[in-house]
Structure 1
Amino acid sequence: MSGNKSTGRVAVITGASSGIGAATARALAADGYLVALLARRLDRIEAIASEIGNGSIAIQADVTDRDQLVAAARRVQDELGGADVLVNNAGVMLLGPFSAARSEDYRRMVEANLLGAITTTEVFLDQLTGGDGGDLINISSVAGRSARAGNGVYAATKWGINGWSESLRQELLPGVRVTLIEPGVVDTELPSHITDTATREAVQKSYDVAAVKPEEVAEIIAFVLSRPRHLAINEVLIRPADQLG
């Protein structure tokens, strides 16, 4: 943890039911943040919110549904006083050979990974810009820097996140700091969602060999947020030490 305790700052985290999102909720709560956990699986985020305490709240919301996000933003404003930090973490990684048979996978990735982050930010933007200084953390991927066979649409969504983040970084100066986090292999449930069997098995094997823990990524996010307002860490690339690509 950063060791730099916050006082009443509010963090909204999407995809908070597992992986990096859940770990970040725990890390920021330990740093004194009031945390709003957003995810589709209400039972999971309610359990995490109860565990971390400190006034944390669980809000069932799908980032592909703008009405649910608007309702979530209203709750954050009414119950916590508005968001100072938004962590756009929700997403899916549906890898596999490019094929018309996986058109639904492609739609899901674009809607969740790219449009979901854009819509969530748009909905919470007034809260981020309305306080003493906001922070926007966008979770991208190593795939946002280098595409490879079988991850084309996933990479496209992450390249999109990277370009959009840089544009926002310039637009939102000086009131909101924008940070892009680009993890490589992280020990999360993402591989289990892959619909192509051969790809899922191959990816899971690579994850079993070397993976960063979600808590290690969360520690970096907490560190970024703990920096004084005059300092911005705009981009962090994270890999297991022995990951090549």
Structure 2
Amino acid sequence: MRCGSRSGTGYLHGIAAVLPVMRAQGSGHLVTVSSVSGLRVDPTAAVYSATKHAVRALCEGLRQESRELRVTVVSPGLTRSELTGTIADGAVREAVEARMGIAIPAAAIAEAIHFALTQPPEVDVNEIVVRPTAQD
């Protein structure tokens, strides 16, 4: 299951929708695409980082409370995407666009997800951080 939104509420609604089904069937795998912003805080993205920290904490709680479920958080660094088009603050958007030269392809994130999903049932890959080697 993958769900999310910029505010985090989409993630909560997604969990509410699928968790009962996964528990009833006795298994499931929640994969959350978060951000390295859930591991650090940048001065221009405090609220965004806070939502990513919250999603990470929620996933860890689900992992501990639901032993029949596997829970994976994938935290991408700078990745080529439509992100810059959604940034309202012009100065922040320009700063991000200036760094896109080091961005990794989205396929790198897909490969990380594939790795987590293809592990044996007794293996739970909880967190994967994927970022450009040049990213600080």
Q: TM-score when scaled to structure 1?
A: 0.53
Q: Is the 8 A contact 2:56 2:73 kept in 1?
A: yes
Q: How many residues align?
A: 136
Give distance in 2, aligned partners of 1:169 and 1:91.
Answer: 21
Larger RCO (CA within 8 A; separation ≥ 6): 2
Kept in 2, the 8 Å contact 1:136–1:179? The answer is yes
In the alignment, structure 1 residue 165 sits paired with structure 2 residue 79: no
Task: Write the distance in 1 (CA, Å) between the matches of 2:115 and 2:128.
Answer: 11
Q: Which of the numbers 142, 145, 155 marks the counterpart of 2:36?
A: 142
Q: What is aligned with 1:181? A: 74
Query: Per-residue displacement from partner, 1:157-187 (whole Å, max 9, x unpaired)?
Result: 00101111111110111x1100111111010
Say whether the 8 Å CA contact 1:146–1:155 is kept in structure 2.
yes
Structure 2, unmatched stretches of 5+, are none
In the other structure, the counterpart of 2:113 is 221
> What amino acid does structure 2 have at the position aligned with 1:146?
R
Larger radius of gyration: 1
For 1:202, the equivalent position in structure 2 comes to 95
Supply the AA of the counterpart residue of 2:66: L
Aligned partners of 1:150 and 1:213: how far apart in 2? 24
Runs of at least 4 residues off by over 3 Å: none
Task: Give the root-mean-square deviation of aligned CA atoms.
Answer: 1.2
Aligned equivalents of 1:124 and 1:164: distance in 2? 15
Residue in structure 2 matched with residue 131 of structure 1 by the alignment: 25
Q: Which amino acid aligns with 1:87?
A: R
Residue identity opposite 2:123 in structure 1: L
Match of 2:123 among 220, 227, 231: 231
Unmatched tracts of structure 1, length 5 or more: 1-85, 93-109
1:91 aligns with 2:5: yes
SS at match of 2:43: coil
Partner deviation per Cα, 1:45-102 (whole Å, 9 max, x = no partner): xxxxxxxxxxxxxxxxxxxxxxxxxxxxxxxxxxxxxxxxx012x434xxxxxxxxxx
Quick one: which amino acid aligns to residue 153 of structure 1? V
**Contact conserved, 1:139 with 1:182, CA < 8 A, in 2?**
yes
Q: TM-score, normalised by structure 2?
A: 0.94
